[in-house]
Amino acid sequence: MDLAYIETLREALHKVSGYIYPNDLELQWSVLIVLYPYITGLVAGAFVLASLERVFDVKVLKPTYRLSLLVALAFLLVAPLPLNVHLGHPERGIEIFLTPHTSSAMAMFGFVYLWYLMVVLLMEVWLDYRREIVEWSRSETFWPKRVFYKVLTLGVDNISPRSLEIDDKLGRILTVVGLPSALLLHGYVGFIFGSIKANPWWSTPLMPVIFIFSAMASGIAGVMLIYMFMCWVRKVRIDMPCLDTIGKFLLTAIIVAFSLEMLEMLQTVYEAEEHFDIISLLVEGKLFVSMILVQIVMGSLTPIALLGVLQLAELREKTRKFICALSGVLALIGILAMRWNVVIGGQFFSKSLRGFTTYKMEFAGREGLLSAIILGLLPLAILAVLLYLLPPWPKEDQAKAS
Amino acid sequence: MKDIQHLLRVAVIFAAAFAGFLVVRTLLVPKSFGKAGHYRADAVDEFAQLPRRYAGEHACGKCHAQQASDKAKSSHRSISCESCHGALLAHVENPKSDTRPRRPKEAEMRAFCGHCHARSLSKPGRFPQIKLSEHNPDAPCNMCHQPHQPK
Amino acid sequence: MKNFSRKQFLKTAAGAALVMAARAFSTPLSAAEKFFREPPWKRKKPYWGYAVDVTKCIGCARCVDACKTENDVPREAFYFRTWVERYILRRSGEVNVDSPNGGLDGYLPPSDPGTVTKSFFVPKMCNHCENPPCVQVCPVGATFKTEDGVILVDRKYCIGCRYCIQACPYGSRFFHPVLHVADKCTLCYHRIKKGLKTACVEVCPTGARMFGDLSDPKSAISKFYETETLQVLKANMGAEPKLVYKGLDKEVR
């Protein structure tokens, strides 16, 4: 028994307000479970951005196409980690694949995840890079890297025009399949919460849809910021038409996500069911800062206003960059707050609907802030490795940079 | 054919991974899983065999016949012995063991009986209740009421 | 050829729509018969049910103590397989609920007793639902309904994801701090299998708690189910609890 943890729970007993079911004192899903939909959302959003170029032929997004794919891959590799670290028995986690319970959203998520990682994303990246991989496997002078590329070629160095044409076709098909897969992946994360009828804060059919659109916003914002950052690191000019277009898509995603959230709220207020009192206390009280201020005002309204100005006014390049960067950061913070408000907020009130418990985040423990920060930064480290091994920049760019 | 050789290799890798998964699956899934439903059927038996603490009403009368027959005629008849005397399976299995039946000392008696019989406006009105502070405040309950034949 | 197949398709589709519409109009009343579902205890023997008579509970919390003793439930004020709530309803409409240490610490006399209109105790525990939301969400099949109707958690198979704790509308599950798996009332499966009463029923001095075999028409619980006016908690969840209450007030949830 973790005595220090028991002690925090004993202290929490004194901070309960109203009446909670005694077992509802402990907040079951910690900050790690906040991180999980956040990371998964970034994956889905980044992939949608990639599909815009590939499937919908938004050619101006070319500079970020491959970068989006790598961002999606880096975050996807980390996505299940917070879940597994959180388990009471991480060593039994594999049971989800061995004996999946078909009526459980969580079990099905495992398969959606594997499908998306193995079949869609890895294949797509591989097909897209295959020509370069073969070339690098011949030209690379640093031997470990050369071996790595050799392995990736799977021993086939045929890059005849016909084979590349086939790759391109297959890649396009995969993207078309991948788009619903990405939405399914993140829609499913929403469903994990939305299907819990016992919790009125979660139980809404809109939950998967809201998750999908906020995922798009976060993924687009994430790729945009990484792109701007990498341009700065590599000392190349930001492709302004590309950035402006990303800004437009970001604006669209935030507007849709925000409208859906507000519609959901309106519905709750108007229907005013049994749980209405506790929900309104929750929003006015424990979630006031993280929901009203951070999620709505700072994370949604401000970026909508900023990006809106960008569409209406003729601004200098520098100002446009600044507005995009600022909106991206605000949107990312706002969406993180949204995940917090859903996951933690939904556990603040007891199912007695008569009282609140508290949550004191640990710092160093297994489910503490520190592991959340590490898990949150891990995808960026993986991305750095991916960018080193599979540079996504166009040829002329690479020449300029070196 | 030559131009899709790399794709065939990918297909082989996927097929091998899937086959490997199937092998791992047969090795790791518990034998009794799925026999009765989507769960490990053995778990049910494991639960059935957990240790007990409470012996149950019928265990006491064998040795404590007098108390049992007194109680059976009283208004406490529907109350199980272990309700007042605590969990006693260990005592039943070995009367010499350290587990002794709970018996309130004289000083604790009022609190002990009051646990059920102290007046509270939350208790059903027809349940016999007294105001502990007014009902012969200094006397232990068993001066007037024998717990096995209360009156 | 193309025209023909389209025509054919339209014909079939129209036909199907017509049949469905006809059905919808002709059988509106018989549809209600489908709501009837035969209870599983008509088919399976034994099949356990549980009942609480709120009008008999005196809030002594003997059951809470016995449950913790019998089942090695951690003795902390936030791990319970069963607990007893006290409701105090006041003239102003105010409702106070408490359950100090699940009832084990006793209940302080209510402040301002003059304003109290009614007060009563409500024992709570796992509802052993016929349609259990916790089992539905378990990703690996670690929590399940046995053939005799009891909901259990396989301690050797549970991965500790806590999804079932979130899904239980009744707050009857907790995360076991030592075993790191979900934990809950087992209906004293190790006792009832041997013909004994559950620990809570064994020690209940007033007969407020009752359990038994629903498949036996002569059992006390079957009689109770058949003759009393009963309610379940949060019926809107559709979980179909097999824990039923007699004399439940509308403020209880």
Q: Please compute the mean of the pLDDT values over residues A47-74 and round it to a whole number.
A: 93
Least confident of C36-45, C78-87, C102-111: C36-45
Inter-chain touch C140–A5, beta carbons under 8 Å:
no
Least confident of B52-56, C22-26, C73-77, C200-204: C22-26
C40-246 to CATH, choices 1.10.3720.10, 1.10.1660.10, 3.40.50.12780, 3.30.70.20: 3.30.70.20
Q: Please compute the mean of the pLDDT values over residues C11-30 and round it to a whole number.
A: 71
Share of chain A above pLDDT 90, in %: 83
Closest approach of chain B CAs to the CA of C43, in angstroms? 16
Q: Please compute the mean of the pLDDT values over residues A11-32 and round it to a whole number.
A: 96
In angstroms, the first-to-last Cα distance of chain C is: 65
- B4–chain A Cβ distance below 8 A for any pair: yes
- A94–chain B Cβ distance below 8 A for any pair: yes
Q: Give residue C27's pLDDT band: very low, low, confident or very high (50, 70, 90).
A: low
In sequence order, the β-bridge partners of residue C52 are C209, C245
Inter-chain touch C152–B122, beta carbons under 8 Å:
no
- pLDDT at position C58: 97
- Residue numbers of the domain that contains B74: 54-102
Rounded Cα distance between C170 and C160, Å, is: 19
Least confident of A323-337, B96-110, B136-150, C12-26: C12-26
Restricting to B residues 24-83, those with a Cβ less than 8 Å away from any Cβ of A are: 24-25, 28-29, 33-34, 38
Mutate to test the interface with B, among A99, A137, A158 (most CBs of B within 10 A): A99
Q: In Å, how far are A153, C41, C43, C217 from C148, measured between CA atoms? A: 57, 8, 10, 16
Nearest by CB: B2 against A99, A158, A170: A158
Q: How many domains does chain B have?
A: 3
Closest approach of chain A CAs to the CA of B120, in angstroms? 21
- pLDDT at position C31: 60
- pLDDT at position C19: 78
SS3 assignment, position A287: coil
Cβ neighbours of B4 in A, within 8 Å: 163, 166
Q: Give residue A115's pLDDT band: very low, low, confident or very high (50, 70, 90).
A: confident
DSSP category for residue A142: S
Closest approach of chain B CAs to the CA of C135, in angstroms? 10
Q: Which residues of B sit within 8 Å Cβ distance of C?
A: 30, 33, 36-40, 43-44, 46-54, 56-57, 78-80, 82-83, 87, 115-116, 120-124, 127
Least confident of A52-66, A104-118, C213-227: A104-118
A-to-C residue pairs, Cβ atoms closer than 8 angstroms: 142
SS3 assignment, position C206: coil
Residues shown for chain A: 402
Inter-chain touch A118–B5, beta carbons under 8 Å:
no
Nearest by CB: A156 against B9, B21, B28: B9
Delimit the domains of chain A by residue range.
28-343+361-393
Tell me the pLDDT tens digit for each residue of C212-251. Answer: 999 999 999 999 999 999 999 999 999 999 999 999 999 9
- pLDDT at position A402: 44
Nearest by CB: B28 against A98, A102, A155: A98
C155 to chain A: nearest residue by CA? A89
Cβ neighbours of A97 in B, within 8 Å: 21, 25
Inter-chain touch C157–B123, beta carbons under 8 Å:
no
Closest approach of chain A CAs to the CA of C87, in angstroms? 10
A158 to chain B: nearest residue by CA? B3
Would the pLDDT of C193 be above 50? yes
Kindly tell me the sign of the dihedral angle through the C-alpha atoms of B20, B22, B23, B29.
positive
Tell me the pLDDT tens digit for each residue of C134-179. Answer: 999 999 999 999 999 999 999 999 999 999 999 999 999 999 999 9
Q: Please compute the mean of the pLDDT values over residues C43-52 and round it to a whole number.
A: 92
- pLDDT at position A110: 83
- pLDDT at position C1: 45
C82-90 and C95-98: which strand pairing?
antiparallel
Cβ neighbours of C159 in A, within 8 Å: 87-90, 92-93, 95-96
Nearest by CB: A1 against C136, C165, C178: C178
Residue with tokens 């594997």: A114
DSSP category for residue A55: T
Inter-chain touch C169–A28, beta carbons under 8 Å:
no
Closest approach of chain A CAs to the CA of C125, in angstroms? 11
**Residue type for position A384:** A
Nearest by CB: A166 against B3, B21, B28: B3
Share of chain A above pLDDT 70, in %: 98
Inter-chain touch B50–C190, beta carbons under 8 Å:
yes
Would the pLDDT of C36 be above 70? yes
Q: Give residue C14's pLDDT band: very low, low, confident or very high (50, 70, 90).
A: confident
Would the pLDDT of A57 be above 90? no
Distance, CA of C116 to chain centre = 29
Inter-chain touch A98–B29, beta carbons under 8 Å:
yes
Inter-chain touch C144–B80, beta carbons under 8 Å:
no
Rounded Cα distance between C57 and C41, Å, is: 27
Distance, CA of A364 to chain centre = 24
Closest approach of chain A CAs to the CA of C185, in angstroms? 12
- pLDDT at position C16: 77
Tell me the pLDDT tens digit for each residue of A194-229. Answer: 999 999 999 999 999 999 999 999 999 999 999 999
Closest approach of chain B CAs to the CA of C24, in angstroms? 36
Q: Give residue A180's pLDDT band: very low, low, confident or very high (50, 70, 90).
A: confident
Inter-chain touch B3–A154, beta carbons under 8 Å:
no
Q: In Å, how far are B44, B52, C47, C48, C172 from C189, measured between CA atoms? A: 9, 10, 12, 10, 16
Would the pLDDT of C28 be above 60? no
The mean predicted confidence, pLDDT, of chain C is: 92
Rounded Cα distance between A355 and A357, Å, is: 7
Closest approach of chain B CAs to the CA of A138, in angstroms? 17
Q: Please compute the mean of the pLDDT values over residues C49-56 and round it to a whole number.
A: 97
Inter-chain touch C107–B122, beta carbons under 8 Å:
yes
Rounded Cα distance between A357 and A344, Å, is: 11
Q: Closest Cα partner for C220 from A152, A304, A201, B78?
A: B78
Q: Are residues B146 and B113 in the same domain?
A: yes
Q: What share of chain C is helix, strand, coil (3-state, %, to 5)?
A: 35, 20, 45
Q: Are residues B91 and B118 in the same domain?
A: no
The mean predicted confidence, pLDDT, of chain A is: 93
Rounded Cα distance between C247 and C208, Å, is: 11
In sequence order, the β-bridge partners of residue C183 are C174
3-state secondary structure chain B: CHHHHHHHHHHHHHHHHHHHHHHHHHHHCCCCECCCCCCEHHHHHHHHCCCCCCCCHHHCCCCCHHHHHHHHHCCCCCCCHHHHHCCCHHHHHCCCCCCCCCCCCHHHHHHHHHHHHECCCCCCCCCCCECCCCCCCCCCHHHCCECCECC
Q: Are residues B71 and B89 in the same domain?
A: yes
- Domain end: B11, B30, B48, which one? B48
- pLDDT at position A395: 62
Q: Please compute the mean of the pLDDT values over residues A295-307 and round it to a whole number.
A: 97
Delimit the domains of chain C by residue range.
2-33, 40-246
Q: Closest Cα partner for C65 from C75, C78, C54, C55?
A: C75
Cβ neighbours of B124 in C, within 8 Å: 55-58, 120
- pLDDT at position A184: 85
- pLDDT at position C18: 80
Inter-chain touch C78–A22, beta carbons under 8 Å:
yes
Would the pLDDT of C12 be above 80? no
Closest approach of chain B CAs to the CA of C31, in angstroms? 31
Inter-chain touch C206–B50, beta carbons under 8 Å:
no
- B16–chain A Cβ distance below 8 A for any pair: no
Restricting to A residues 117-176, those with a Cβ less than 8 Å away from any Cβ of B are: 118-119, 123, 126, 130, 153-156, 158, 160, 162-163, 166, 170
Tell me the pLDDT tens digit for each residue of A352-368. Answer: 999 999 998 888 888 89
Residues shown for chain C: 253
Would the pLDDT of C4 be above 70? no
